[in-house]
Copies of this chain bind each other. A is one copy, B any other.
């Protein structure tokens, strides 16, 4: 079934202990849609400048991503640069140049209107709300946010996520949003804000899924070498929603099993782990669907008892 992904398409400069790349394709919508493209028909809503390279458009097209909603405007594409700490669990932002992204007003082309699945990458909550309103055939909608919106635009954010089926954030954001240090209590508080499903990403420690009546926890995949964690959380989101869209389930409390949701979390973890194996989106240039399913089975093997 058809998935719409909204968010940033960007260029990133990244430095990790394994090296440094001055400028490479990045952005939440890029990672989400590349990861989701292995599972389902994916359409992107984003904006780029006139410096956006043909080969970067081509990579998305090669993955079957629909770019009808990728607006191209005069100016420069969003640029972000950051440097990771030696253990790669944290990073410092060195440069944020919003450029054409500063005036991003997501416009959905007519061909997107029938989409049943929606993943709202981390952008201004009021824009996320606008997009949600434009899609009237949705079976499942949710997204991501970040500390900036939680801290400085709390009311707007709460108004936005109230209508989401799922919220997908990391552990720091869950603590900040709920005001609870303990993740079990944080989850309970967040599920009272609207979403019936909460996914908490914990980086190398894995992920958790919470619903009112149950929860699921999976450890992180044990990589021997983390080259670049940039985009891992977005790749997780793409795998999660992509798998659910492929299965054709909807998330209404009564219509989906904990099992399906858990498997979606595993596919999310699989895509996040692949993302870390190369710089930027490089792993997705060569990744095959058979590798994804093989790693899913690895998860089963190393977590079974």
Listed in ascending order, the chain A residues whose CB lies under 8 Å from chain B are 86-87, 181-185, 202, 205-206, 208, 214-219, 222-226, 259, 262-263, 265-266, 299-300, 302-305
Contact = CB atoms under 8 A, between A and B. Distances in A.
Contacts of A183: 222
Nearest to A185: B224
A304 B217 CA distance: 9
Nearest to A266: B305
A182 B263 contact: no
A225 B262 contact: no
Nearest to A210: B222
Contacts of A266: 305
A224 B305 contact: no
Nearest to A217: B219
A264 to B, nearest CB: 9
Contacts of A214: 302
Contacts of A184: 222-224
Given A87-B181, A181-B87, A205-B205, A305 B259 contact: yes
B305 A265 contact: yes
A182 B305 contact: no
Contacts of A181: 86-87
